[in-house]
Structure 1
């Protein structure tokens, strides 16, 4: 995994279509996000017990959570894995915005499941976002979104403080969506 992160973060790799930022993999340590970016940390309870954890983890890593939230998503694979290319889009017609990302890291562990993707050229922001489901010792299932980002194009710079507001709203939407998917 470390080798993959080093390979994806090489400057020549970015020109070939790799991540558009240097701090590749930084969402793996949410308490130490890089300076110079807006930070987002959001978490919520989505269920209780091993079955809820399994359902939530599957919904996150199979893109079901994103799609059920109303976003369109195209991916190179049915499940998140390092290097998988993803395009997430929202909006209608000429107002549809498609943003390219690549999966940077994944967690398929006993009590932790999820992934992070990073921005690629053409994304209006520059940074990384992780989506992680954890099973706590008391059986509580938590969903966390951790991100660092900054504007990459003129219109996100112009939007200024509105971008973090939209990012937090989207994280909340994902939390509500995942909670609903776990219940069904």
Structure 2
């Protein structure tokens, strides 16, 4: 069983409403190059299909009007957390997904008044070929968890800048996320602050 936990400080608790919206409307996945369909507010029993954009942080290429993406599989939301100081959800993968297990996406305010994001998962490879390729699937999961937390932090920072400066983002905001993921992958370190 692969167990994974990736956390990151997001800043002061006042950004919780924006983080809540990002988590509960699948924007978190989008920030990491994952496409979830159908897109609607997270609810228990909801089934979503997931695809990965292979050219992230760039938009997915198109051919004959269709996005060229990599199918990941389907998941079912089994729990939704929507409390005063926390928001998130848990999904379970369905047969055919690349992984077999559960993943939790959570933002919460700590006793220090800071907002943090936590991505946790427990899974095993969902296909025999992935089992044979170990430890590559775990490395891919770690990379995706890092993309999720750094992507959420970037979204919140951009929203704050746009809210105070009233300026649209001038360049692709995914570039810093891609750089953080690449640096972490090269050095084998985890960003947690």
What TM-score bracket applies, with the shorter chain setting the length? 0.7 to 0.9
How do 1:172-183 and structure 2 match up within 5 A?
172-183=146-157
TM-score by length of 2: 0.71
Once the two structures are TM-superposed, the CA of residue 142 in structure 1 deviates from its matched residue by 0.4
Q: Which residue of 2 aligns with 1:38?
A: 2
Once the two structures are TM-superposed, the CA of residue 158 in structure 1 deviates from its matched residue by 1.9
Q: Which residue of 1 aligns with 2:145?
A: 171
Runs of 4+ aligned residues of structure 1 deviating over 4 Å after TM superposition are: 91-95
The structure 1 residue matched to 2:90, chosen from 102, 116, 122, is 116
Q: Which residue of 2 aligns with 1:143?
A: 117
TM-score by length of 1: 0.74
Q: Which residue of 1 aligns with 2:34?
A: 71
Contact 1:134 1:142 in 2 (8 A): yes
Give me the whole-angstrom Cα distance separating, in 2, the residues matched to 1:182 and 1:158: 39
Once the two structures are TM-superposed, the CA of residue 98 in structure 1 deviates from its matched residue by 3.0
The structure 2 residue matched to 1:85, chosen from 44, 47, 59, is 47
Once the two structures are TM-superposed, the CA of residue 95 in structure 1 deviates from its matched residue by 6.7
Query: 1:126 and 2:89 equivalent?
Result: no
Q: Which residue of 2 aligns with 1:62?
A: 25
| CA gap 1:56/1:78 in 2 versus in 1, 3 angstroms | same
Higher-Rg structure is 2
Q: Deviations over 1:83-118 (max 9, x none)?
A: 001111114577712310000101000111000110
**Matched residue count:** 146
Once the two structures are TM-superposed, the CA of residue 181 in structure 1 deviates from its matched residue by 1.0
Instruction: Give SS of 1:157's match.
Output: helix
Q: Which residue of 1 aligns with 2:72?
A: 98
